Copies of this chain bind each other. A is one copy, B any other.
Amino acid sequence: MGIINRLKTIRPEVDHAPKINLVVVKANDPEVLTCVEQACKEGRVFAYLIDSRDKLSESLKDYDLPADSYEIVDENDDQQASFKAVELVRNGQGDAILKGHLATGKVLKEVVNRETGIRKAQTLSHVAIIANPKLEQLLAVTDGGLILQADENNGKVIIDNAASVMKALQVEKVKVALLSCAENVIPKLPSSVLEDKLSQELSGLDPDVIVEGPLSIDLALSPASAKEKGYNGQIKGDANVLFAPDIVTGNTVSKSMLLFGDSQMAGVIMGAKVPVIITSRSSSYEEKYASILLAQILMLDQ
Protein backbone atom coordinates (compact mmCIF):
# COMPACT_ATOMS: atom_id res chain seq x y z
CA MET A 1 0.00 0.00 0.00
CA GLY A 2 1.36 3.43 -0.91
CA ILE A 3 1.88 6.21 1.58
CA ILE A 4 -1.35 8.04 0.65
CA ASN A 5 -3.51 5.00 1.30
CA ARG A 6 -1.60 4.12 4.43
CA LEU A 7 -2.18 7.59 5.86
CA LYS A 8 -5.87 7.47 5.00
CA THR A 9 -6.22 4.00 6.53
CA ILE A 10 -4.60 5.13 9.76
CA ARG A 11 -6.72 8.29 10.06
CA PRO A 12 -9.83 7.72 7.91
CA GLU A 13 -11.51 10.76 9.49
CA VAL A 14 -9.08 12.94 7.51
CA ASP A 15 -11.37 12.58 4.49
CA HIS A 16 -14.23 14.28 6.37
CA ALA A 17 -12.22 16.71 8.44
CA PRO A 18 -12.73 20.48 8.21
CA LYS A 19 -10.62 22.25 5.60
CA ILE A 20 -7.20 23.41 6.67
CA ASN A 21 -5.77 26.71 5.54
CA LEU A 22 -2.69 25.95 3.49
CA VAL A 23 -0.29 28.82 2.87
CA VAL A 24 1.66 28.28 -0.34
CA VAL A 25 4.78 30.44 -0.63
CA LYS A 26 5.67 31.24 -4.25
CA ALA A 27 2.87 29.06 -5.50
CA ASN A 28 3.45 29.56 -9.22
CA ASP A 29 5.03 26.18 -9.88
CA PRO A 30 3.35 23.49 -11.97
CA GLU A 31 4.03 20.58 -9.62
CA VAL A 32 2.94 22.52 -6.57
CA LEU A 33 -0.21 23.81 -8.27
CA THR A 34 -1.15 20.31 -9.42
CA CYS A 35 -1.09 19.08 -5.84
CA VAL A 36 -2.88 22.14 -4.50
CA GLU A 37 -5.54 21.79 -7.18
CA GLN A 38 -6.31 18.26 -6.08
CA ALA A 39 -6.36 19.15 -2.38
CA CYS A 40 -8.68 22.11 -3.11
CA LYS A 41 -11.04 20.07 -5.25
CA GLU A 42 -11.25 17.41 -2.56
CA GLY A 43 -12.18 20.06 -0.04
CA ARG A 44 -9.10 19.36 2.05
CA VAL A 45 -7.63 22.82 1.95
CA PHE A 46 -8.33 26.44 1.47
CA ALA A 47 -5.20 27.82 -0.17
CA TYR A 48 -3.48 31.14 0.27
CA LEU A 49 -1.44 31.33 -2.89
CA ILE A 50 1.38 33.83 -2.45
CA ASP A 51 3.06 34.96 -5.67
CA SER A 52 2.95 37.65 -8.34
CA ARG A 53 -0.82 38.04 -8.89
CA ASP A 54 -0.57 38.65 -12.63
CA LYS A 55 1.65 35.72 -13.46
CA LEU A 56 -0.12 33.39 -11.06
CA SER A 57 -3.56 34.29 -12.45
CA GLU A 58 -2.26 33.47 -15.89
CA SER A 59 -0.98 30.07 -14.73
CA LEU A 60 -4.18 29.28 -12.85
CA LYS A 61 -6.11 29.27 -16.13
CA ASP A 62 -4.62 25.82 -16.68
CA TYR A 63 -5.96 24.53 -13.37
CA ASP A 64 -9.39 23.89 -12.07
CA LEU A 65 -9.38 25.37 -8.58
CA PRO A 66 -12.86 26.07 -7.20
CA ALA A 67 -13.23 29.87 -6.88
CA ASP A 68 -14.00 29.68 -3.17
CA SER A 69 -11.06 27.40 -2.43
CA TYR A 70 -8.23 29.90 -2.75
CA GLU A 71 -7.10 33.48 -2.45
CA ILE A 72 -4.12 35.06 -4.14
CA VAL A 73 -1.74 37.11 -2.02
CA ASP A 74 0.18 39.35 -4.40
CA GLU A 75 3.90 39.23 -3.57
CA ASN A 76 6.64 38.35 -6.01
CA ASP A 77 9.73 38.80 -3.82
CA ASP A 78 10.86 35.51 -2.25
CA GLN A 79 11.73 36.93 1.15
CA GLN A 80 8.63 39.10 1.35
CA ALA A 81 6.47 36.19 0.25
CA SER A 82 8.00 34.10 3.05
CA PHE A 83 7.34 36.91 5.51
CA LYS A 84 3.71 37.10 4.45
CA ALA A 85 3.28 33.34 4.75
CA VAL A 86 4.55 33.39 8.32
CA GLU A 87 2.37 36.44 9.05
CA LEU A 88 -0.73 34.54 7.92
CA VAL A 89 0.14 31.76 10.34
CA ARG A 90 0.89 34.22 13.15
CA ASN A 91 -2.53 35.83 12.61
CA GLY A 92 -4.20 32.45 12.91
CA GLN A 93 -5.16 32.33 9.24
CA GLY A 94 -2.74 29.59 8.20
CA ASP A 95 -2.60 25.98 9.44
CA ALA A 96 0.34 24.76 7.38
CA ILE A 97 2.96 26.17 5.02
CA LEU A 98 3.89 24.63 1.70
CA LYS A 99 7.09 25.81 0.05
CA GLY A 100 6.70 26.52 -3.66
CA HIS A 101 9.32 27.74 -6.09
CA LEU A 102 11.97 29.26 -3.81
CA ALA A 103 14.91 28.31 -1.61
CA THR A 104 14.09 26.58 1.66
CA GLY A 105 16.35 28.96 3.56
CA LYS A 106 14.21 31.99 2.73
CA VAL A 107 11.12 30.37 4.22
CA LEU A 108 12.90 29.10 7.30
CA LYS A 109 14.51 32.48 7.94
CA GLU A 110 11.05 33.98 8.50
CA VAL A 111 9.78 30.94 10.42
CA VAL A 112 12.55 31.22 13.02
CA ASN A 113 12.67 35.04 13.20
CA ARG A 114 12.75 35.86 16.93
CA GLU A 115 10.45 38.88 16.57
CA THR A 116 8.01 37.95 13.86
CA GLY A 117 8.53 34.19 13.46
CA ILE A 118 6.43 31.22 14.51
CA ARG A 119 8.96 29.02 16.24
CA LYS A 120 7.45 26.81 18.92
CA ALA A 121 10.28 24.51 19.97
CA GLN A 122 13.90 25.68 20.33
CA THR A 123 14.78 23.44 17.41
CA LEU A 124 13.07 22.85 14.11
CA SER A 125 13.61 19.43 12.63
CA HIS A 126 12.64 17.50 9.56
CA VAL A 127 10.56 14.35 9.86
CA ALA A 128 10.30 12.07 6.83
CA ILE A 129 7.51 9.49 6.94
CA ILE A 130 8.27 6.45 4.82
CA ALA A 131 5.96 3.72 3.57
CA ASN A 132 7.95 0.64 2.60
CA PRO A 133 6.39 -2.60 1.40
CA LYS A 134 8.67 -4.63 3.70
CA LEU A 135 7.72 -2.66 6.81
CA GLU A 136 4.33 -3.19 8.41
CA GLN A 137 4.55 0.15 10.21
CA LEU A 138 5.08 3.62 8.75
CA LEU A 139 8.61 4.72 9.56
CA ALA A 140 9.78 8.19 10.54
CA VAL A 141 13.37 9.06 9.60
CA THR A 142 14.87 12.10 11.29
CA ASP A 143 16.74 14.32 10.63
CA GLY A 144 17.73 13.97 7.01
CA GLY A 145 16.78 17.42 5.86
CA LEU A 146 17.56 20.21 8.26
CA ILE A 147 19.79 19.63 11.28
CA LEU A 148 23.35 18.90 10.28
CA GLN A 149 24.48 17.13 13.42
CA ALA A 150 22.55 15.83 16.39
CA ASP A 151 23.75 16.82 19.85
CA GLU A 152 22.44 16.46 23.38
CA ASN A 153 20.21 19.54 23.15
CA ASN A 154 18.70 19.29 19.71
CA GLY A 155 18.63 15.48 19.96
CA LYS A 156 15.81 15.58 22.48
CA VAL A 157 13.74 17.96 20.36
CA ILE A 158 14.39 15.93 17.19
CA ILE A 159 13.06 12.85 18.98
CA ASP A 160 10.14 14.78 20.43
CA ASN A 161 9.15 16.24 17.07
CA ALA A 162 9.20 12.84 15.40
CA ALA A 163 7.33 11.19 18.27
CA SER A 164 4.56 13.77 18.04
CA VAL A 165 4.07 12.96 14.35
CA MET A 166 3.95 9.24 15.11
CA LYS A 167 1.42 9.83 17.88
CA ALA A 168 -0.77 11.66 15.36
CA LEU A 169 -0.38 8.54 13.24
CA GLN A 170 -1.91 6.53 16.08
CA VAL A 171 1.23 4.79 17.30
CA GLU A 172 0.59 4.03 20.97
CA LYS A 173 4.14 3.21 21.99
CA VAL A 174 6.54 5.10 19.77
CA LYS A 175 9.74 3.11 19.41
CA VAL A 176 12.66 5.39 18.60
CA ALA A 177 15.83 3.64 17.44
CA LEU A 178 19.02 5.69 17.68
CA LEU A 179 20.89 4.62 14.59
CA SER A 180 24.50 3.48 14.70
CA CYS A 181 26.62 0.74 13.12
CA ALA A 182 26.14 -1.70 16.00
CA GLU A 183 24.35 -2.03 19.33
CA ASN A 184 27.34 -1.27 21.51
CA VAL A 185 28.83 2.04 22.59
CA ILE A 186 32.12 2.64 20.80
CA PRO A 187 34.08 5.21 22.85
CA LYS A 188 35.85 6.54 19.74
CA LEU A 189 32.56 6.96 17.85
CA PRO A 190 31.02 10.13 19.33
CA SER A 191 27.56 9.49 17.87
CA SER A 192 27.29 6.18 19.72
CA VAL A 193 28.30 7.86 22.98
CA LEU A 194 25.70 10.59 22.42
CA GLU A 195 23.04 8.03 21.61
CA ASP A 196 23.79 6.05 24.75
CA LYS A 197 23.41 9.25 26.77
CA LEU A 198 20.18 10.23 25.02
CA SER A 199 18.63 6.82 25.50
CA GLN A 200 19.49 6.87 29.20
CA GLU A 201 18.23 10.42 29.74
CA LEU A 202 15.00 9.94 27.81
CA SER A 203 14.25 6.48 29.15
CA GLY A 204 10.93 6.53 31.01
CA LEU A 205 10.41 10.30 30.64
CA ASP A 206 7.39 9.73 28.42
CA PRO A 207 5.76 6.34 29.03
CA ASP A 208 4.50 6.35 25.44
CA VAL A 209 7.96 6.79 23.89
CA ILE A 210 10.71 4.17 24.00
CA VAL A 211 14.14 5.51 23.11
CA GLU A 212 16.81 2.89 22.50
CA GLY A 213 20.27 2.94 21.03
CA PRO A 214 22.83 2.83 19.69
CA LEU A 215 21.32 0.31 17.29
CA SER A 216 22.22 -0.83 13.79
CA ILE A 217 19.56 -0.51 11.10
CA ASP A 218 18.99 -4.26 10.98
CA LEU A 219 18.25 -4.45 14.70
CA ALA A 220 16.03 -1.37 14.35
CA LEU A 221 14.04 -2.48 11.33
CA SER A 222 14.42 -6.20 10.71
CA PRO A 223 12.68 -8.51 13.18
CA ALA A 224 14.53 -11.44 11.58
CA SER A 225 17.95 -9.86 12.20
CA ALA A 226 17.03 -8.84 15.73
CA LYS A 227 16.05 -12.45 16.46
CA GLU A 228 19.08 -13.92 14.73
CA LYS A 229 21.44 -11.71 16.72
CA GLY A 230 19.53 -12.43 19.93
CA TYR A 231 19.01 -8.72 20.55
CA ASN A 232 17.39 -8.26 23.91
CA GLY A 233 16.01 -4.72 23.91
CA GLN A 234 12.47 -3.41 23.63
CA ILE A 235 12.93 -2.63 19.95
CA LYS A 236 13.15 -5.83 17.95
CA GLY A 237 13.19 -4.74 14.36
CA ASP A 238 9.94 -2.84 14.87
CA ALA A 239 11.09 0.76 15.34
CA ASN A 240 8.69 3.55 14.37
CA VAL A 241 11.34 6.24 14.33
CA LEU A 242 14.89 6.05 13.02
CA PHE A 243 16.98 8.77 14.62
CA ALA A 244 20.05 9.47 12.48
CA PRO A 245 23.09 11.00 14.16
CA ASP A 246 23.65 13.41 11.29
CA ILE A 247 22.06 14.73 8.11
CA VAL A 248 24.19 12.59 5.79
CA THR A 249 22.99 9.37 7.41
CA GLY A 250 19.38 10.55 7.65
CA ASN A 251 19.29 11.80 4.09
CA THR A 252 20.99 8.68 2.75
CA VAL A 253 18.80 6.18 4.56
CA SER A 254 15.52 7.75 3.49
CA LYS A 255 16.68 8.30 -0.08
CA SER A 256 18.07 4.77 -0.37
CA MET A 257 14.72 3.39 0.77
CA LEU A 258 13.08 5.47 -1.96
CA LEU A 259 15.61 4.56 -4.64
CA PHE A 260 16.06 0.86 -3.89
CA GLY A 261 13.25 -0.14 -1.56
CA ASP A 262 10.15 0.87 -3.53
CA SER A 263 9.18 3.29 -0.80
CA GLN A 264 7.14 6.46 -0.79
CA MET A 265 7.67 9.41 1.48
CA ALA A 266 5.97 12.39 3.05
CA GLY A 267 7.87 15.08 4.88
CA VAL A 268 7.31 17.98 7.24
CA ILE A 269 9.38 20.30 9.31
CA MET A 270 8.16 20.24 12.90
CA GLY A 271 8.86 22.65 15.75
CA ALA A 272 7.05 25.67 14.36
CA LYS A 273 3.48 26.54 15.31
CA VAL A 274 2.35 24.74 12.16
CA PRO A 275 3.89 22.05 9.95
CA VAL A 276 6.11 23.39 7.19
CA ILE A 277 6.30 21.31 4.02
CA ILE A 278 9.60 21.61 2.21
CA THR A 279 9.49 19.19 -0.68
CA SER A 280 12.28 19.44 -3.19
CA ARG A 281 12.07 19.87 -6.94
CA SER A 282 12.85 16.21 -7.39
CA SER A 283 10.15 14.95 -5.03
CA SER A 284 7.29 13.11 -6.65
CA TYR A 285 3.68 14.16 -6.89
CA GLU A 286 2.84 11.48 -4.29
CA GLU A 287 5.37 12.94 -1.90
CA LYS A 288 3.96 16.44 -2.16
CA TYR A 289 0.35 15.31 -1.91
CA ALA A 290 1.08 12.90 0.97
CA SER A 291 2.84 15.73 2.81
CA ILE A 292 -0.29 17.92 2.53
CA LEU A 293 -2.33 14.97 3.79
CA LEU A 294 0.07 14.55 6.69
CA ALA A 295 -0.26 18.24 7.58
CA GLN A 296 -4.04 17.81 7.55
CA ILE A 297 -3.74 14.79 9.86
CA LEU A 298 -1.53 16.75 12.25
CA MET A 299 -4.31 19.38 12.44
CA LEU A 300 -6.87 16.75 13.50
CA ASP A 301 -5.49 16.71 17.02
CA GLN A 302 -5.12 20.47 17.44
Instruction: Please list the residues of chain A having a beta carbon within 8 angstroms of any beta carbon in chain B.
Output: 132, 134, 144-145, 148-149, 179-182, 186, 188-189, 191, 216-218, 221-222, 225, 228-229, 244-253, 255-261, 263, 281-282
Beta-carbon contact of A134 and B259 below 8 Å: yes
**CB < 8 Å: which of B148, B191, B257, B282 contacts A248?**
B191
Tell me, in angstroms, the Cα distance from A222 to B259 when the chains sit together: 7
Beta-carbon contact of B180 and A248 below 8 Å: yes
Beta-carbon contact of B189 and A229 below 8 Å: no
18 contacts between A and B (CB under 8 A): A148-B186, A181-B247, A181-B251, A182-B251, A189-B246, A217-B251, A217-B259, A225-B259, A229-B281, A244-B252, A245-B248, A246-B246, A246-B249, A248-B249, A253-B253, A256-B256, A259-B261, A260-B261
Beta-carbon contact of A217 and B181 below 8 Å: no
> How many copies make up the complex?
2
**CB < 8 Å: which of B145, B149, B216, B258 contacts A255?**
B216
Beta-carbon contact of B217 and A255 below 8 Å: yes
Give the Cβ gap from A71 to chain B, nearest Cβ, in Å. Answer: 32
Which of A191, A245, A252 has most B Cβ within 10 Å? A252
Tell me, in angstroms, the Cα distance from A137 to B159 when the chains sit together: 37
